[in-house]
Structure 1
């Protein structure tokens, strides 16, 4: 179980550092229904990661590990493919980043967040966790790593739970500040939002590239073992 935890901690940290979802949650908290919609967004985020990871555990099943409790070849192939895609996308993002951070812009849909219904907020949280170009591959890779560890199902679920908790820290932090600090949270969250907006593309590009190389290396290690 310890090895499985070690394999997914870095992936979880990569998911946790997600500037765009953090900005989205801060904008949600700034709306008149922020006290309701903020927790709904965080809940949807957690559920999205848990569902995607759980699906990978179910797909991996007994076939995730070989007879020697080593990762099956398909796990290595999956990591190589995901790693290569992430690294290539990271390089592409870096080339297209704004030369002047002040020129960074938020997606147009964020301007309408104050009009989102609770149902749309749930959908947004699910999309930004389970359908995100960075988070989905990392969560899939984490699920594959857990299923290939050769540990009992209860332990697999426990490792996945740890992954989801750590991967959610970035989103839960603004919510915690909002709920604990009240009015004083506005200035803190505003500072976080401005920093994330300015550096979102650069941060994401670096994370894509570094985590892609990590997955690529892990996958090659599985295939040549």
Structure 2
């Protein structure tokens, strides 16, 4: 019996939520928004950074939907061969990148160092803060492959256009939770917010590489399996 649209939608959401969660817990954007919130215009800059992040995810995901839409990437509800090849390539990239990160992780977390560009956040204008949010979402080598994989999974599943947009919206919202949490603490947490956010920043900075390495290895292996399944079915 063919699956109903609802069952198909549920299966697609189950497929992409893992990618969204991985993007959401990516430590570098969380550290970046915490540093941005500590700038003189922290409230404005934090909101602009988050809006830029949302826009970056949505645009990159929408591009993948246009490329991998049912008319171009699915035949009788089955993903086209190139979709399987894309998943295979993304999976291989994530596994190799994850293994490289794990090998290069600091043996002592206290020795971890933040990227040099983060030291310049205090001097960025609101426009540049917004652009930074877009770049970390859509152009970052750690997040872009996950968003591309999610867009390809949604676009190649044979869903109606409305459900594709809904699935992408769910992905973007879940992928943004990692930024919304510190933003919410800053806006609602009062005097204790800076201490709480400082503790979060320190933990994320120390464990950034190890967290991303494990996520990439797990999701890369999943994508490899999905790609092989599409290419051999």
Fold-level similarity (TM above 0.5) = yes
Superposition pairs of residues 17-36 of structure 1, within 5 angstroms: 17-36=25-44
Partner SS for 2:30? helix
Cα drift, residue 80 of structure 1: 0.3
- Give the equivalent residue in structure 2 for 1:208: 216
Structure 1: how far apart are the matches of 2:90 and 2:200?
A: 30
Contact 1:49 1:139 in 2 (8 A): yes
Contact 1:3–1:149 (8 Å) recurs in 2: no
Counterpart secondary structure, 1:168: helix
Is 2:84 the partner of 1:76?
yes
Structure 1 position 169 matched with structure 2 position 177? yes
What is the match of residue 205 of structure 2? 197
SS at match of 2:88: helix
Gaps of 5+ in 2: 1-8
Pick aligned residue for 1:99 from 94, 107, 112: 107
Q: Look up the match of 1:63.
A: 72
**TM-aligned CA deviation for residue 167 of structure 1:** 0.7
Q: Which runs of 5+ in 1 are unaligned?
A: none
Partner of 1:179: 187
Is it true that 1:88 corresponds to 2:96 in the alignment? yes
TM-score w.r.t. structure 2 length? 0.94
CA distance in 1, matches of 2:222, 2:14: 13
Runs of 4+ residues over 3 Å off in structure 1 = none
2:3 aligned partner: none
CA distance in 1, matches of 2:232, 2:190: 54
**Does 1:142 find its partner at 2:156?**
no
> Residue by residue, what CA displacement relative to the aligned partner does 1:93-113 show, whole Å, maximum 9, x if unpaired?
111111111110011111111
Alpha-carbon distance, 1:119 to partner: 0.9
Q: How many residues align?
A: 224
Q: Report how far residue 59 of structure 1 moved.
A: 1.2
**How far apart in 2 are the matches of 1:167 and 1:221?**
26
Q: Select the residue among 90, 94, 116 that pairs with 2:124.
A: 116
Shift of 1:70: 1.3
* Residue number among 4, 7, 26 corresponding to 2:15 in the alignment: 7
